[in-house]
């Protein structure tokens, strides 16, 4: 699949934003009110909204994006939009009470957390339900999306330096989250199916496989078209391996080292922010590979 920058930005930033909203809603120690609470809300909500807005850039007619909300009964994309809007509205009321009245309403925060998790899950299901892309059609896909979102949220929450008041040490929780998220991703990389592993080839695609081996003599089109541009993208195995290593070093290696340093030294704040930035940078590489390495069934015709 062609890795569209707008979709990569959307899945990474909105995931981080809603992950942060989840932690805020669950009552993780944060500034009580005022400027600190305002910036926490701004970062969490800003990342979520920025990601959602960027997703419309991939549409042929962004001005018609609102029409997707009507298809919530059958479309995961529509369900994602509905969940995101409801969650952000709930968070707006939660943030107003927090920033101006020093009141983090517990039941409202819980609804925000549930809505945030639901939004990330629906985003993942847009890709998971696609049987035409075997590597995405995997239970580990939504697990990876959810774990990455919660990990980013934990690191962003810790950046405000209030983790000492947490019941569980936030650096330790972040360390466990990082290992769990990238462990799930390694399993996803290892178990990822391909078209050939599912028995799909030019013969099954054309229905002519029963009469002999099917070979492609000419491409269906003499030039590039929408399908070849969006659905058929190849990345060399050599380059993919290097990019996976970069993703692991940035998204897992550096944040793990930072969390260990914080556990040993008791430092916070700045180091958490550094870990969060490294994690998000690693996820941009991981998400590029998520799309670039995916094989769509239509490629069998090309």
Q: Domain extents for the chain?
A: 5-301
What pLDDT is stored for residue 191 in this prediction?
81
pLDDT the model gives residue 251: 95
Helix-, strand-, coil-residue percentages of the chain, each rounded to 5: 75, 0, 25
Q: How many residues does the chain have?
A: 302
Report how far apart the first and last C-alpha atoms of the chain are (Å, whole number): 13
Percent of the chain with pLDDT over 90: 48
Give the confidence band of 226 by pLDDT, cuts at 50, 70, 90.
low
The string of pLDDT tens digits covering residues 10-49 is 999 999 999 999 999 998 888 777 888 999 999 999 999 9
| DSSP character at residue 29 | S
Overall CATH class of domain 5-301: mainly alpha
Q: For 60-64, 103-107, 211-215, which range has the lowest pLDDT when averaged over its residues?
A: 60-64
How much is the pLDDT for 74? 79
For residue 98, CA distances in Å to 15, 43, 130, 191, 204 come to: 23, 15, 40, 44, 58
Cα 192 from Cα 273, distance rounded (Å):
32
pLDDT band at residue 222 under the 50/70/90 scheme? low
- The C-alpha atoms of residue 162 and residue 34 are separated, in whole angstroms, by 15
What is the spatial distance between Cα 133 and Cα 207, in angstroms, rounded to a whole number?
A: 19
Average pLDDT of span 74-79: 86
What is the pLDDT, as a whole number, of residue 281? 96
Under 8 Å between Cβ of 263 and 169: yes
**Global confidence as pTM:** 0.86
Residue 164 to residues 35, 189, 269, Cα–Cα distance (Å): 20, 36, 11
Q: What was the pLDDT predicted at 16?
A: 96
Which of residues 8 and 67 earns the better pLDDT score?
8
């Amino acid at each position: 699949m062609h890795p569209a920058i707008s979709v990569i930005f959307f899945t990474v930033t909105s995931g981080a934003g809603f992950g942060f909203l989840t932690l805020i809603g669950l009552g993780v120690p944060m500034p009580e009110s005022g400027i600190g609470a305002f910036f926490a809300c701004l970062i969490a909500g800003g990342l979520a909204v920025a990601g959602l807005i960027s997703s419309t850039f991939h549409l042929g007619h962004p001005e018609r994006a609102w029409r997707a909300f009507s298809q919530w009964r059958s479309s995961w994309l529509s369900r994602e939009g509905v969940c995101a809007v409801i969650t952000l509205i709930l968070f707006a009321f939660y943030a107003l009470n927090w920033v101006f009245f020093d009141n983090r309403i517990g039941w409202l925060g819980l609804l925000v957390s549930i809505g945030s998790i639901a939004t990330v899950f629906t985003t993942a299901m847009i890709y998971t339900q696609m049987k035409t892309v075997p590597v995405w059609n995997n239970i580990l896909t939504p697990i990876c999306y959810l774990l990455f979102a919660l990990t980013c949220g934990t690191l962003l929450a810790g950046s405000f330096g209030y983790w000492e008041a947490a019941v569980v040490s936030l650096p330790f929780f972040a360390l466990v989250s990082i290992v769990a998220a990238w462990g799930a991703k390694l399993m996803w990389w290892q178990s990822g199916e391909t078209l050939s592993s599912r028995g799909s080839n030019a013969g099954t695609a054309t229905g002519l496989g029963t009469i002999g081996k099917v070979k492609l003599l000419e491409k269906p089109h003499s030039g590039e078209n929408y399908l070849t541009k969006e659905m058929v993208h190849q990345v060399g195995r050599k380059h993919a391996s290097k990019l996976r290593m970069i993703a692991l070093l940035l998204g897992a290696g550096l944040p793990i080292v930072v969390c260990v340093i914080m556990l040993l030294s008791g430092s916070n704040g700045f180091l958490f922010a550094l870990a969060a930035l490294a994690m998000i940078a690693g996820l941009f590489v991981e998400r590029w590979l998520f799309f670039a390495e995916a094989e769509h069934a239509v490629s069998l015709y090309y």
